[in-house]
Amino acid sequence: MKLKPILFVVFCLMSFGAWAQETSLNPNPNSAHPIDEADIQYRAQIWRRMDLNEKINQPFFAENNQISKFLIDGVKAGVLTPYSNDSLNTKLSLEQFLDRLKLKGKLENGGLTAEEIAAGFGGDAKPASAPATGGADDGWGTKKTETSNAEKPAVDDFDKGPIVAGVEYYIPKQLSILEIKEDAIIDRKRSRLYFDIQAITLKIPASASDAGLEDAVASFRFKDVYKFFKNNPNCIWFNSTNEMQHRNMADAFDLRFFSARIIKKGNAANKDIFDQFPNEKEALKKSQKLEQQLQDKEAEMWEN
């Protein structure tokens, strides 16, 4: 008779153990695939720069299927929440987000600077009136002193500058830089290195910026982006080799189909690699060395 209560207790303990394994302890709210804190042996925060114009990254930047387009559409639809930076502490309103997408500097006013507009160029410029004279030679040896309204030629406004209607914004095709913030984690339970993406930042490349510097549009929590991609079958990673094998962008991130070099590793001074190594060649070597060091840490797990 005592066997049934004992079996019931054992069954409850087994069920609780299975539930505990499936539920992440202290889950990371920004991660699409959080790892239990108790299972983390090593963690390093790193930042990567992803150039969507690189050949290997072009499937994320296909015509009318740019990842930048989907991110912007997600914000406009109210599905994605934009943040001011990748710390993900300060949210941006839709108005603030759109303001960051405005063409600024010389790209406004038809590409004219304030000095050029003040000098008379642009849509408000008017041709100077001809000085008054005693008349002009009509080509037949006589001079005309007066011309009726019917004989006055129409004023040619061909040189009139462009009229800028409304506000112009960057188009998705111009936004070709993503910055990825992620944790490099050694999972002691599975003895593996995992890259756990935390945030994605959409940036304006230096070539499209009037200041000549990369400028951040907004950052997004990767968990939100991942869910948005999963629920939207149109967000595809374009496989130009075999169009029957397109992938959802969420799956493409899971499979690490992108190329993005390390530009910063967490440090006390919060300096990126270019601050530490101004020489571009040396900075690239340091980036590759950091990548190799992370792989070596995974190898050490198997050796031990």
For 35-55, write each residue's pLDDT tens digit: 999 999 999 999 999 999 999
Q: What is the pLDDT of residue 191?
A: 86
Higher pLDDT, 44 or 19: 44
Query: Which range among 124-138, 205-219, 284-298 shows the weakest confidence by mean pLDDT?
Result: 124-138
Query: What was the pLDDT predicted at 27?
Result: 74
> Is the model more confident about 129 or about 238?
238
- The predicted structure's pLDDT at residue 2: 57
The pLDDT of residue 135 is 54
Tokens of 154: 């129409």
How far apart CA 272 and CA 203 sit, in angstroms, is 17
Dihedral of CA atoms 47, 51, 55, 61 in degrees, nearest 10, equals: 110
Residue ranges per domain, the chain?
A: 28-107+169-303
Say whether pLDDT at 212 is over 90.
no
Per-residue pLDDT reduced to its tens digit, 101-148: 998 754 445 545 445 555 555 544 444 444 444 555 555 555 555 544
* 176: phi then psi, degrees, rounded to nearest 5: -105, 15
Q: What percent of the chain has pLDDT above 90? A: 60
Contacts of 301 (CB under 8 A, 6+ apart): 41, 186, 188, 191, 192
Q: Using pLDDT thresholds of 50, 70 and 90, give the confidence band for residue 13.
A: low
Is the pLDDT at 158 greater than 50? The verdict is no
Q: Residue 178 is which amino acid?
A: L
Q: Edge-to-edge, what's the strand order for the sheet holding 40-51?
A: 82-83, 215-221, 192-204, 177-187, 40-51, 261-265
The least confident of 161-170, 227-236, 288-297 is 161-170
User: Does the pTM exceed 0.95?
Assistant: no
Q: Residue 21: what pLDDT?
A: 43
């129409």: which residue's tokens? 154
Q: What is the pLDDT of residue 124?
A: 44
Structure tokens at 59: 């499937």
Confidence of residue 16 (pLDDT cuts 50, 70, 90): very low
pLDDT number for residue 298: 84
The larger pLDDT score, comparing residue 236 to residue 152, is at: 236
222-228: average pLDDT: 97
Mean confidence (pLDDT) of the chain: 81
What's the 3-state SS for the chain? CCHHHHHHHHHHHHHHHHHHHHCCCCCCCCCCCCCCHHHEEEEEEEEEEEECCCHHHHHHEECCEEHHHHHHHHHHCCCCCEECCCCCCCECCHHHHHHHCECCHHHCHHHCCHHHHHCCCCCCCCCCCCCCCCCEECCCCCEECCCCCCCCCCCCCCCCCCCCCCCCECCHHHCCEEEEEEEEEEECCCCEEEEEEEEEEEEECHHHCCCCCCEEEEEEEHHHHHHHHHCCCCCEECCCCCHHHCEEHHHHHHCCCCCCEEEEECCCCCCCHHHHCCCHHHHHHHHHHHHHHHHHHHHHHHHC
Pick the closest to residue 162 from 111, 103, 209 (CA basis). Answer: 111
Distance of alpha carbon 175 from alpha carbon 172, whole angstroms: 5
